Amino acid sequence: MATFVDRVVLHATGGDGGHGCASIHREKFKPLAGPDGGNGGNGGSVVLEVDPQVTTLLPFHHQPHRRAASGSQGMGDHRSGATAEDLVLAVPDGTVVKSPDGEVLADLVGAGARYVVAPGGRGGLGNAALASPRRKAPGFALLGEPGETADVVLELKTIADVALVGFPSAGKSSLVAAVSAARPKIADYPFTTLVPNLGVVQAGDARYTVADVPGLIPGASQGKGLGLEFLRHIERCAVVVHVLDCATLEPDRDPVSDLDVLEAELAAYAEDLEVAAGGVPLAERPRVVVLNKIDVPEARELADLVRPELEARGLPVFEISTASHEGLRALTFALAERVTAARRAAPAQEATRVVLRPRAVDDSGFTVQRREGGGQVWFAVRGEKPERWVRQTDFTNDEAVGYLADRLARAGVEEALLKAGAVAGDEVRIGPDTDAVVFDWEPTLLTGSELLGGPRGSDVRLEDRSRPTRGQKRREYTERMDAKAAARAELWTEREQGVWTDPDA
């Protein structure tokens, strides 16, 4: 059963947004007190976050499909739906997020680094939020948007200061176990190490990490053996240590030829690597040669024989024995010096800059194209806003469809259709070809008998009566008082004339 996974394919889906609510407030003596439908809650997003306690991508190997929670639906009495929490997935430090085509989307380095893989959908607006002076009582609400779906490739590139490379059974795992508290698997057969092993080394005041890369063989950069699968783990190292076996029993091998093969494989692998700004190419990073297993007499003699040739190449050479721990102290302190120098020469980490990309002045936010195929002619409308409005529309509600038509007309879609040559009755598709909304276009009439009625969503029972001003109220009051005084005077005059007392009058 796998215990270490450094490459997985993650299928992430954001949560759906909750639907808005269409409701009318009702209470005693107020049967139609106005719209009070609440908004739907936003769906949760799928987020990757670096956790120093996580060292493998194994959880994603067992569960590659992850989906965030959806937002709740809005309710009456202006109650909005609950917003769903984001699904935060912990990944190891050094995880690279790529698209299925190989494009690097994010390089997560450092505790707390985050990347949103699949954003959640936005909640739909309730009819209370859709009310306006022209549409006082909407009988519809907007639907919540579905969450986005994304397939990404996660690759783990171990962040270590020192990388141990060498042939199988060269003693790399034994070296890690001898200089650190790590206890990797050690055996007397090739390819014992199937996964990279990490160890922390303390040399005086310096502390650094050592990575044991599975054994390399000729052709590893082309996919032979296990080298190609794990060569990515040495991309971030500061020092490369060649562990050479001086006690090998193979007749066609010796430390010098092993070093040449290792350098050739690293050079072939480094050709395809992109160097970060201010970084050092893999071929130019410090090299250290370790002649291992000198506790064997024949191995010590071979190490003394090849050491001058290796030093002539300008490489520092250390003779060690992981069994007797001979030469390990000098090696650990020498590596500490080189790691410290590499850390000082590394460029300072700059704060992430916020890049603002405002939309162009002449950018309408959508495109209209005339297309032909299969003997049919249609007009394709693509754009973020039109497609979002279509997803939010409840097509079972005629009023909601009318609201969508008004939004498209205000955005200039109808004008663009006219310029593209569309006429009444032509087929219009909004959205991608695989999931588009298809309808027959009917241009909005700007004049005619349809303007005699109220706008869509209006209710004559809820028409707003304009409130009189204070001056108007005073004039009305004065006119009423004057009318009452005139009526009293007329009645008094008739009473004095005996109109009410004399029957003959």
CATH of the domain at 384: 3.30.300.350
Single residue among 96, 129, 156 that ends a domain in this structure: 156
Model confidence pLDDT, tens digit, residues 161-198: 888 888 877 788 888 888 887 665 554 434 444 456 77
Q: Is 214 annotated as a binding residue?
A: yes
Domain count along the chain: 3
Model confidence pLDDT, tens digit, residues 299-328: 888 888 888 888 888 889 898 888 888 888
Q: Is 173 annotated as a binding residue?
A: yes
Please provide the DSSP assignment of 101-162 as one string: TS-EEEEE-STT-EEEEEPPPPPPPPHHHH--SS-SS-S--PPPPPPPEEEEEEEE----SE
| Measured distance CA(194)–CA(214) in Å, rounded | 6
Q: Is 191 annotated as a binding residue?
A: yes
Same structural domain for residues 274 and 223?
A: yes
Residue 436 makes CB contacts below 8 A (sequence gap 6+) with 380, 429, 430
Residue 38: the pLDDT is: 93
Same structural domain for residues 193 and 275?
A: yes
Residue 355: the pLDDT is: 74
Q: Is 352 annotated as a binding residue?
A: no
Q: Is 230 annotated as a binding residue?
A: no
Q: Is 248 annotated as a binding residue?
A: no
DSSP annotation of 446 reads S
Model confidence pLDDT, tens digit, residues 277-288: 445 677 778 888
Does 496 map to a domain? no
Does 499 map to a domain? no
Single residue among 411, 434, 451 that ends a domain in this structure: 451
Confidence band (pLDDT; 50, 70, 90) for 419? confident
Q: Is 321 annotated as a binding residue?
A: yes
Same structural domain for residues 231 and 337?
A: yes
Same structural domain for residues 329 and 382?
A: no
Provide the whole-model pTM: 0.68
Tokens of 291: 């002649």
Q: Is 158 annotated as a binding residue?
A: no
Same structural domain for residues 152 and 192?
A: no
Q: Is 193 annotated as a binding residue?
A: yes
Q: Is 166 annotated as a binding residue?
A: yes
Q: Is 455 annotated as a binding residue?
A: no
Domain carrying residue 91: 7-156
Single residue among 310, 345, 380 that ends a domain in this structure: 345
Q: Is 404 annotated as a binding residue?
A: no
Q: Is 147 annotated as a binding residue?
A: no
Q: Is 42 annotated as a binding residue?
A: no
Asked if residues 419 and 462 have their Cβ atoms less than 8 Å apart, the reply is no
Please compute the mean of the pLDDT values over residues 148-153 and round it to a whole number.
Answer: 93
Q: Is the pLDDT of residue 215 over 70?
A: no
Same structural domain for residues 219 and 277?
A: yes
Q: Is 160 annotated as a binding residue?
A: no
Residue 245: the pLDDT is: 85
Q: Is 170 annotated as a binding residue?
A: yes
Q: Is 336 annotated as a binding residue?
A: no
| Measured distance CA(380)–CA(368) in Å, rounded | 6
Q: Is 327 annotated as a binding residue?
A: no
Closest of 112, 128, 12, 10 to residue 75, by C-alpha: 128
Q: Is 195 annotated as a binding residue?
A: yes
Model confidence pLDDT, tens digit, residues 426-463: 888 998 888 888 888 888 765 444 444 455 555 544 55
More confident residue, 268 or 302: 302
Q: Is 323 annotated as a binding residue?
A: yes
More confident residue, 172 or 149: 149
Confidence band (pLDDT; 50, 70, 90) for 44? very high
Model confidence pLDDT, tens digit, residues 217-230: 555 444 444 445 55
Closest of 393, 296, 337, 309 to residue 162, by C-alpha: 337
Please compute the mean of the pLDDT values over residues 55-78 and round it to a whole number.
Answer: 90
